[in-house]
Amino acid sequence: MGFVSRGFVGRPEGRERTGLLPPGQYDIGGGFPVLSAGPTPRTSLEDWDFTITGEVDEPERLTWQAFQDLPHEEVTVDIHCVTKWSKFGTTWSGVSLDTLLDRVETSADYLLAFCDGGYTTNLPIEDVTDGRAWMVDRYDGEPLEAHHGGPARLLVPHLYFWKSAKWVRGLQLASVDEPGFWESLGYHIYGDPWREQRYAGD
Ligand SMILES: Nc1nc2c(c(=O)[nH]1)N[C@H]1C(S)=C(S)[C@@H](COP(=O)(O)O)O[C@H]1N2
Ligand SMILES: [Mo]
């Protein structure tokens, strides 16, 4: 029975843990490395907000309380870092990007997530809708620790983990796919671990 983890029993929405390793990855087991391009920013929850801007009819702004009041889902998924570690069966809780993007009218096809500290990452909207991405504020039943992206971060588990931006403060919607931080530095514009899209040209 040891193999029956919480993520293994049916959960309707989202991509669940598969126990499969994408090419070139290894299982890090119980570890959970911290990978940050700069210092951990600290924004108080009173000052925190989440905005959806850019090509939208009306920009949206949520306070921390308004974000908390949105329906949260628990998801258990595998994550895959471009530095080659993967971690199976990570459990998070957060707001589906379907729920967040339903709050604006847009014809945009892409978004750029922006963060405290200046990090950005680009994503097709198709990749963050239909139960494939969340703004998570809890990990393993606890509030998300600051070094792992708290108060809230993106979780886009079907792409390399650099797309799961930490300390996210908003989404800028656009009709063009603008490279974010790592994508501008030679990492792949899309980053599918199953196709091993680590670097531009892969
Ligand atoms: N804001 C921000 N988000 C970020 C990063 C970062 O440096 N800044 N690093 C990315 C990378 S490369 C990875 S692998 C994951 C690491 O998340 P973790 O530190 O919780 O393991 O966060 C991603 N999100
Ligand atoms: Mo990473």
Residues lining ligand 1, CB < 6 A?
Answer: 33-37, 81, 115, 117, 119, 148-149, 161-162, 164-167
Between 7 and 17, residue with greater pLDDT = 17
How many Å lie between the centroid of ligand 1 and the Cα of residue 2?
Answer: 31
Q: Which residue's C-alpha comes closest to atom 22 of ligand 1?
A: 162
Mean local confidence (pLDDT), 104-111 = 98
Mean local confidence (pLDDT), 187-199 = 98
pLDDT at 170 over 80: yes
Domain membership of residue 129 (yes or no) is: yes
Residue 15: predicted pLDDT: 58
Percent of the chain with pLDDT over 90: 91
Between 61 and 17, residue with greater pLDDT = 61
pTM of structure:
0.93
Q: Which residue's C-alpha comes closest to atom 19 of ligand 1?
A: 34
Domain membership of residue 16 (yes or no) is: no
Mean local confidence (pLDDT), 17-40 = 95
Q: Atom of ligand 1 at shortest distance to CA of 147?
A: 19
Domain count, the chain: 1
How many Å lie between the centroid of ligand 2 and the Cα of residue 37?
Answer: 9
Q: Which domain holds residue 105?
A: 48-195
Q: Is-contact 129 101, C-beta < 8 A?
A: yes
Distance CA 40, CA 131 (A): 28
How many Å lie between the centroid of ligand 2 and the Cα of residue 196?
Answer: 13
Residue 18: predicted pLDDT: 83
Point out the ligand nearest to the CA of residue 165: 1
Domain membership of residue 37 (yes or no) is: no
Q: CATH number for the domain including 67?
A: 3.90.420.10
Q: Which residue's C-alpha comes closest to atom 6 of ligand 1?
A: 36
Domain membership of residue 11 (yes or no) is: no
pLDDT at 3 over 80: no
The single-letter code of the amino acid at 14 is G
pLDDT at 178 over 70: yes
- Average pLDDT of the chain to the nearest whole number: 93
Cα dist. 102→56, 67, 95, 99, 175 in Å?
11, 14, 12, 5, 17
Residue 16: predicted pLDDT: 74
Distance CA 172, CA 113 (A): 6
Between 156 and 4, residue with greater pLDDT = 156
Distance CA 200, CA 11 (A): 35
